[in-house]
Structure 1
Amino acid sequence: MDIKLVTTFLDVFESRNFNRTADRLELTQSSISGRIRALEAEVGAQLFERGRAGATPTPAGIRFEPHARLLVATWDQARRDTGASEERDRLLRLAGQFSLMRPVLVDWVINIRARDQRTAVDLQADYSLQIIKDVSHGAIDIGVLYSPQYLPDLEIQQVGEERFVMVSTHGRHLAQIPKDTYLNTDYTSYFRQRHQTLLPELANSAITVSFEGIAVEFLRRTGGSTYVPSRIVADLASTMEGLCVVEDAPQILHPIFTAVHRRRCHYPDIVQALTVLKETLDTAGGAAE
């Protein structure tokens, strides 16, 4: 099977439009149609319903999608492993919720490489649901996330906690925080529930964001108050005049989990990478007790 047929299928599956996929892949619409027809002939099933509204996956197409992702991931790993140089003989595929754990993930990879220079690392960022799907399908070796989905074939473990603190350009005490400039952060359902319980009076602010980078950008442009991971506060304060931690605001501790496929959880390189992650969290003050 030509792997290009599979990657084209995945693009159409996401775009729901042959013309849009043609633009993204810099091909003609007829080339995209030809690839999909060739793939349908190989799998023996129609994968898309074509119409004026676009391309809608058939039930067979929906069933094929996870297999297609696994095929692409397996091919990519095979290509990397086969082409390994004298300086590299193994590949770890890691994924995490990068916007919330940027310092941890980067430190983790640096420490993995410091421990073993022969290990190459493919680090990806995604949402929890996609990370779980990729780990389950074998496309990712280790997922680091906040909101795991417990599936029978996955080993889910809590490895630490992320500490969120309120920062503000208005002052160091809750009494100084104006409600009209407070920026609500909806990072996860767990975070939202904890925030609602601890600070119900600030839960219905005018602006709510779910991405830490956007929250920081609002602070830079307009000032205000919001919750951010404690790990980034020092860097923010050094570049944002007047920003400080609100000392009497409650801290929110959010569990950090890892997801590994059960058939891989005893692989030596996986075990070592998990050990390094726990050491990294412990050094940064975020390890689980």
Structure 2
Amino acid sequence: MDLGTLRTFLAAAETGSFSGAAKRVNASPSSVTERIKQLEHQLAARLFERDKRGCRLTAAGRKFLVPANQAVRALDIARHEVALPDNFTRSLAFGAQYALWDERLLAWLARARIDHPETAWRVTSGASARLNRDLAEGFLDIAALYDPVFRRDFGSEILFDDELILVTGGDPDQWRDRYVRIEWGREMGAEIASRLDITPQSGLILDLGARSADWLKSHAMAGFMPRRSVAKSLLDGSLQVVPDAPAFPFPAYVCWNRALDPAFVAQIVMSLKSAGLNDI
């Protein structure tokens, strides 16, 4: 079972056709068919149902999707680690939630690379669900995020205090007709829904992090955003806080794998906490 075969399987699952997978992995359709056939033989399971419309994952195929993704990512990371120049004695995989990536976090990263010249960095962004999963599966070492999953084998500290507030790019008195649900984690979504007693009418759910504010401004809609991420928009008047709406505590955390060198982690955490990430 090689990396090319796994990538072909994932491409077919994503595109829904063997011909689409062939274009994705730069192979002929017959090669894709043969790779999938060999993979099914190795696993002793049928992975796809095929018809004139394309291909669909079987129950076995759906079960194999997660480990196939994990295997491909693990091999990619391993290849990255092996290719590091000899002057790097340590590598660190760092991730942060979309809503936290701005000029302040970028400036922190630049300083951290200078402070730790022996460290090679692999840096990513994502939604909290993905970051939590990547931490649990070992693809990330340290992450900054709003909605962590607390685990015994991971350390965590509050990075800064924040809160979710209801803001609008339109008339605050009309916010109920213009409300859009913005994803900030399952538990927070349930708490907001129970407190507001409102069903969004827009037929739209946003999971765009800080960019969700751009949508609220452009389309005169209302939704909950971290105060930190909309502070400048509140100052310039492009967004307004909806009066009398509830606010929800929403601290940001830094989480890390306890297997890391404690002294090194302490330095990274301290530098993050002093980086002014909650400054307006």
Given the two structures, how large is their TM-score scaled by the length of structure 2?
0.74
Question: 1:144 deviation in Å?
Answer: 4.1
Report the identity percentage: 20
Distance 2:90 2:275 in 1: 26
Q: Give the aligned partner of residue 94 of structure 2.
A: 94
Alpha carbons 2:217, 2:239 under 8 Å: kept: no
Aligned to 1:191: 188
Counterpart AA for 1:177: D
State the distance in 2 between where 1:177 and 1:114 align: 49
Distance in 2 (alpha carbons) for counterparts of 1:67 and 1:218: 36
> Does the C-alpha gap of structure 1 residues 115 and 250 become closer, same or farther in structure 2, counting only changes over 3 Å?
farther
Aligned to 1:163: 163
Q: How does 1:221-236 map to 2 (within 5 A)?
A: 221-236=218-233
Residue 280 of structure 1 aligns to which amino acid in structure 2? L
Checking the alignment, whether the CA contact within 8 Å between 1:81 and 1:90 is kept in structure 2 is: no
- The alignment covers a number of residue pairs equal to 271
Give 1:51's aligned residue: 50
In structure 2, the CA distance between the partners of 1:9 and 1:47, relative to structure 1 (3 Å rule), is farther
Partner of 2:6: 6
Q: Which amino acid aligns with 1:48?
A: L
Q: Is the 8 A contact 1:18 1:55 kept in 2?
A: no
Structure 2 match to 1:265: 258
Distance in 1 (CA, whole Å) between partners of 2:115 and 2:272 is 12
Give the deviation of 1:47 after TM superposition.
5.0
Q: Alpha carbon RMSD of aligned pairs, Å?
A: 3.7
SS at structure 2 position matched to 1:138 = coil
Matched AA of 1:125 = S
Trace 1:27-176 onto structure 2 (pairs within 5 A).
Answer: 27-41=27-41, 43-46=42-45, 48-52=47-51, 54-59=55-60, 61-85=61-85, 88-98=88-98, 100-103=99-102, 106=106, 109-149=109-149, 154-155=153-154, 157=156, 159-160=158-159, 161-169=161-169, 176=172
Query: Using the alignment, how far apart are the partners of 2:21 and 2:28 within structure 1?
Result: 9
Could you say if the C-alpha distance between residues 2 and 281 of structure 1 is closer, same or farther in structure 2, counting changes exceeding 3 Å?
A: same
Q: Secondary structure at the match of 2:136?
A: helix
Measured after TM superposition, the shift of residue 48 of structure 1 is 1.1
Partner of 2:205: 209
- Specify the alignment match of 2:268 in structure 1: 276
The whole-number CA distance in structure 1 between the counterparts of 2:151 and 2:12 is 28
Q: Once the 2 structures are TM-superposed, how far is the Cα of residue 226 of structure 1 from its aligned partner?
A: 3.2
Note closer, same or farther for the CA distance 1:186–1:8 as it changes in structure 2 (3 Å cut): same
Is there any run of 5+ residues in structure 1 with no aligned partner, and where? none
Q: Which runs of 5+ in 2 are unaligned?
A: none
Cα 1:40–1:85, aligned 2, differ >3 Å: closer, same or farther? same
Shift of 1:37: 3.0
